[in-house]
Amino acid sequence: MITEWIDQAAAGRGDASYLEDAAGDGVLTFAGLRRAAAAWAGSLDRAGVAPGAAVALRWPDPLGYATALVGIIAAGRAVVPLDPAAPGSELSRMLAVARPQVVVSDAPARDLPTGLTVLRPDPQTEALERLAGPSGTGGIFLCTSGTTGAPKGILLRDDQLSHVAAAVASHHRLSPADRGYCCLPLFHINAEVVGLLATLAARACLVLDRRFSRRGFWPLAEKKEITWINAVPAIITVLAMDPFFSAERPGARVRFIRSASAPLAPATLERFEQAFGIPVVETYGMTEAASMITANPLDGPRKAGSVGLPAGAEVRIVPVPGAADAVGRVQIRGRGVITRYAAGGPAGAVDPDGWLDTGDLGRFDSDGYLFLAGRSDDVINRGGEKIYPREIEDFLLACDGVSSAAVVAAADEVLGERPVAYVVPAGSWSPDKLEYALREACEAGLPRAKRPSAFVVLEEMPLGRTGKISRRRLRELATAPGRFSGRQVLPQVAAQGAVFETRSELPA
């Protein structure tokens, strides 16, 4: 299907832009995409890489990365997207799972994995007419980035990718007139399917940015005539706090901003929409489902705090004994959902009827909207009472003086576990003043069991490469010996935010 999309787009809109570089003048047209895909097919054939074989991709430039990624899929191979900035040890772990036959890169040899044949683009190579190998052999092979043990391998073939990409384009009503903005990492499923492939399905244009920076963002959106933004909650939070307001609303062409990859606090959503008048569309997805599972509709009702309605996948809630408010385990199945892990996954992850347990907890409301309560392994068991961190986080984020909040479990000798809140102050709030205000607010607004036992004030949250808060890092802090003898004020905590231009771009 992806090959057909390229052929049709090249025939009907050959000179139109498919990809543009936000930082420069680089452009890839649909005709150029077809030529690039055919050239990659020829190069891989000559290198003896069989259809369906794994091909690693490591490319520092986003436009080159995206061109090679889509081209390799169309050439009938399974691309293994690698983080260009990942250390050698992490790359080795990923490659041991994916076992690619070659690596495609224009990076210096010293920066590449050893023991693999390196293919580089050859602009003098005559493009072949044939794009793909046997039907369905192209795809994406992704590895989870777990910190312990071998990563899980997830293989998504052409039919799964195209099904979800078409669902994204349809749900968001993308058309050839649309121009999206994406600064999310191209080695992540969101940017690959929601960004690159949904744009291709719609014959639209996507503007690729290396990293997000709030400085100059709205002028960039105006200059590039952006109509929708592919974002994560951290980006929306930064924009919602941006003091820049003008008589003419910035981003006047922007139809909506899409939020994915992590929960978005209702208070942040409302603050952004009030400031800019741009609808926020909350969604839910995962790698095992080729990205999108549910999404709020563009035309209301859009429910703050909900990730919306099923969109291209079936969703069910399996009750959990003792859970309150009809919260249960979220399970999914559908054309875009894997039926098994390609490597390293748990046995029985997918049941005989095709249902995959996501590891998330959630509930449906009376209208069928899904509300997530958090990960099953994030639930805090305080003396037998199950506490869902998101409920406390949303409460804290609605309080004055809080720009970011996360709640994790700390060990308790009597109760087993207790909630600890990590917060980043907003504006001129001092740690002492903020802690006092939050303690008072929690005593007035939260049941006793849900009140954080300690508040840890950070200069900024530790973030992963896709903009998610690193709960693993926070749990490490919470379980450190002697950590909570009183209020803690910690400095910057090893943020690894590849989404952001610099650490100073985070809300302060």
What the chain holds in terms of domains, given with CATH numbers, is: 379-505 (3.30.300.30)
pLDDT reported for residue 248 = 53
pLDDT reported for residue 358 = 92
Q: How confident is the model at residue 244 (pLDDT cuts 50, 70, 90)?
A: low
Task: Give start and end residues of each alpha helix (H) in 224-261.
Answer: 233-240
d(CA 68, CA 40) in angstroms, rounded, equals: 8
Sheet hosting strand 102-105, strand order edge to edge? 117-119, 102-105, 54-58, 78-81, 139-143, 153-157
DSSP letter assigned to residue 352: T
In the three-class reduction of DSSP (H, G, I as helix; E, B as strand; rest coil), residue 416 is classed as: strand
d(CA 79, CA 158) in angstroms, rounded, equals: 11
pLDDT reported for residue 384 = 67
- Structural contact between residues 87 and 39, judged by C-beta atoms closer than 8 angstroms: no
pLDDT reported for residue 485 = 39
d(CA 296, CA 306) in angstroms, rounded, equals: 8
Residue range 138-166: mean pLDDT, rounded: 85
Mean of per-residue pLDDT scores for the chain: 85
Q: Tokens in use for 106? A: 């224009």
Q: Is the pLDDT of residue 507 over 50?
A: no
d(CA 47, CA 53) in angstroms, rounded, equals: 12
Strongest mean pLDDT among 135-144, 157-166, 385-394, 418-427: 157-166
In the three-class reduction of DSSP (H, G, I as helix; E, B as strand; rest coil), residue 224 is classed as: coil
d(CA 116, CA 80) in angstroms, rounded, equals: 13
Share of the chain above pLDDT 90, in %: 48
Q: Is the pLDDT of residue 7 over 90?
A: yes
**Stretch among 11-20, 265-274, 495-504 having the lowest mean pLDDT:** 495-504
Name the more confident of 254 and 386: 254
Tell me which residue of 148, 165, 122 sits closest to 290, measured CA to CA.
165
d(CA 400, CA 355) in angstroms, rounded, equals: 42
Q: How confident is the model at residue 308 (pLDDT cuts 50, 70, 90)?
A: very high
Single-letter code of the amino acid located at 88: G
pLDDT reported for residue 374 = 82
Tell me which residue of 176, 216, 171, 211 sits closest to 191, measured CA to CA.
211
pLDDT reported for residue 442 = 93
CA 195, 160, 82: angle at the middle one, nearest 5?
55
Residue range 245-261: mean pLDDT, rounded: 77
Q: Is the pLDDT of residue 499 over 70?
A: no
41 phi and psi angles, rounded to 5 deg: -60, -45
**Stretch among 102-106, 152-156, 194-198 having the lowest mean pLDDT:** 102-106
Q: Tokens in use for 299? A: 């035309």
pLDDT reported for residue 494 = 39
Single-letter code of the amino acid located at 234: A
Tell me which residue of 186, 241, 182, 226 sits closest to 72, measured CA to CA.
186
Q: Is the pLDDT of residue 329 over 50?
A: yes
Burial class (CB in 10 A: 0-12, 13-18, 19+), 335: middle
CA 387, 420, 362: angle at the middle one, nearest 5?
30
Residue range 54-75: mean pLDDT, rounded: 94
CA distances from 387 to 362, 370, 407, 412, 439 (A): 13, 19, 10, 14, 18
pLDDT reported for residue 122 = 61
pLDDT reported for residue 431 = 86
Task: Give start and end residues of each alpha helix (H) in 228-345.
Answer: 233-240, 266-276
Name the more confident of 47 and 93: 47
- Structural contact between residues 119 and 44, judged by C-beta atoms closer than 8 angstroms: yes
Strongest mean pLDDT among 196-205, 316-325, 389-398, 483-492: 196-205
Single-letter code of the amino acid located at 394: D
d(CA 106, CA 103) in angstroms, rounded, equals: 10
**Stretch among 198-207, 318-327, 410-419, 469-478 having the lowest mean pLDDT:** 318-327
Q: Tokens in use for 183? A: 């600064």
Share of the chain above pLDDT 70, in %: 85
List, in sequence order, every beta strand (DSSP E) within 413-506.
416-425, 454-458, 488-490
d(CA 295, CA 308) in angstroms, rounded, equals: 4
d(CA 416, CA 439) in angstroms, rounded, equals: 22
Q: Is the pLDDT of residue 114 over 70?
A: no
Please tell me the pTM assigned to this model.
Answer: 0.83
Q: How many CB atoms lie within 10 A of CB 256?
A: 17
pLDDT reported for residue 241 = 78
Single-letter code of the amino acid located at 22: A
Q: Tokens in use for 204? A: 């639209």
d(CA 12, CA 31) in angstroms, rounded, equals: 9
pLDDT reported for residue 505 = 32
Neighbouring residues of 481: CB distance < 8 A, sequence distance ≥ 6: none
Q: How confident is the model at residue 221 (pLDDT cuts 50, 70, 90)?
A: very high
Q: With b meaning 16 or more CB within 10 Å and e meaning fewer, what string describes 96-123?
A: ebbebbbbbbeeeeeebbeeeeebebee
Q: Tell me the CA end-to-end span of the chain in Å, nearest whole number.
A: 45
Q: Tokens in use for 318? A: 């399996």
d(CA 60, CA 200) in angstroms, rounded, equals: 22
Neighbouring residues of 267: CB distance < 8 A, sequence distance ≥ 6: 394, 397, 398
